[in-house]
Amino acid sequence: RAGEIAEELGVEAYVVGGFVRDLLLARPNLDMDIVIEGDGIAFANRLVQEYGGRVKEHDKFRTAVAILPDGRRIDVATARLEYYEYPAALPTVQLSSIKMDLFRRDFTINALAVRLNPKSFGKLVDFFDAQRDLKDRNIRVLHSLSFVEDPTRIIRAIRFEQRFGFRIGGQTERLIKNAVQMQFFQRLTGSRIFNEFKLLCEEKNASRCIVRLEEFKLLGQLHPGLELNAKKIGLLEKIDEVLDWYRLLFLPEPEPDPWMIYLLGLCSEMNDAEVADLTDRLNFSKRDQREFLSLRESVSTAFNRIGGWISRSGPLSELCLAIETLPAEGLLYLMARSTREEVRKGISLYLTRLRDEGIAITGQDLRRLGLTPGPAYGEILRIVRAARIDGQAEAREEQLALARR
Ligand code: ATP
């Protein structure tokens, strides 16, 4: 129907980018990007007139997002006939608007389009031999100044390479090495690097992406303390595993932020001053920086308490007490970091069950037992809860009896 709407408006419509790439790779993708040769904003408005929903316009870029009633988002951009100015002093080139739009993209595999207008519906538009790259499993830039134009593409190249099991092509790899050597990466703002790092951590095999960052010497450029060694790589791989496991639990609460867990791992051999330097470089706000440093601190305190718990062979409730103030990111990091089976089991039990399991008695019950309200209440309830975790006071009656004692 999008194609018919375009036809009625007298414009050409294309679906472009990741959606087309994933279509050809037979991978699911719900984010649709449409490029209109004509007025993209008018097209987005017509789309929601038909389907319902609403449009968010960005006049400056002539782009819009159509948000359909089912929550699906369709990004609509406007392609105009333009002259492409190379960043260096090279001749300008005039291109047709869709070709121009595609030429500005990062890699050939992301520069495919499919026509939507009825007369040519479904026709693939491939100006840059992207189909061959998809077949050869190759990540290739569209021109040799691509990484000069936008060095974040280096991180994107690694992300797509690892996600699809592709390989960054020879020439593209040389261009990356060149850009790294020329320190183009240094010119990027911290927020842009951090955003790309966050996206990279969302990948299933983020540890391999991080190893690739190191192979291109990017970690060291960001901060010398980030450089990898066998121990850190092992830890990052464990984080992959723990996150995989956690995602499969489909817990109702929001997913933890993977970047926090990987960053804890990457900074595991740095001191606080070095971590503060790094987070400054990544443009963390003072508040986010404090929060990350405090997460590191509580994880390390919990780690030490867990050490004591292991050597005493303490009850499960003691482990729970050591970890109960940690957010999910901290708990998952400790699971990855610990080499002891009983710790991993204990934390997993806590995450999946014990964390949400309350006790059957409340402050009201304590009042009925004749206890004066005060700080003792918290202590009593904590003792009852510990006993419950250790399987010693399952029933309400047993819990009441324990509180009375
Ligand atoms: P993902 O599956 O990770 O969302 P995607 O390809 O859809 O992958 P987006 O970041 O949503 O990635 O970008 C959409 C499209 O915009 C890409 O397919 C690419 O064509 C283009 N693009 C995104 N970032 C850049 C960039 N830094 N430089 C050039 N083109 C880009």
Atom of ligand 1 nearest to the CA of 102: 20
| 1-5, 106-110, 251-255, 300-304 — most confident range | 106-110
Question: Does the interface ipTM go beyond 0.95?
Answer: yes
Distance 344 CA to ligand 1 centre (A): 37
Amino acid 94: pLDDT:
52
pLDDT at 398 over 90: no
pLDDT at 260 over 90: yes
33 membership: H or E segment, kind and range? strand 32-37
Q: Is 143 in the pocket of ligand 1 (CB under 6 A)?
A: no
Amino acid 92: pLDDT:
58
Question: Facing residues of 78 across strands?
Answer: 36
36 membership: H or E segment, kind and range? strand 32-37
Stretch among 147-151, 187-191, 369-373 having the lowest mean pLDDT: 369-373
Q: Is 99 in the pocket of ligand 1 (CB under 6 A)?
A: no
pTM: 0.88
Amino acid 96: pLDDT:
58
Q: Which of 98, 105, 172 has most ligand 1 atoms within 8 Å of CB, for mutation?
A: 105
CA atoms lying within 13 Å on the CB side of residue 246: 27
In the block, residue with structure tokens 């609403």: 54
Instruction: Please tell me the total number of residues recorded for the chain in this structure.
Output: 405
Query: Which one is predicted more confidently, 210 or 183?
Result: 210
Give residue-wise pLDDT tens across range 58-99: 887 788 999 999 888 999 999 876 555 666 666 555 555 899
Chain mean pLDDT for the chain: 89
Q: Is 203 in the pocket of ligand 1 (CB under 6 A)?
A: no
In the block, residue with structure tokens 């491939």: 126
Amino acid 212: pLDDT:
97
Amino acid 377: pLDDT:
78
| Alpha carbon of residue 215 to chain centroid | 21
Which residue's alpha carbon is at the smallest distance from atom 2 of ligand 1?
A: 18
pLDDT at 20 over 80: yes
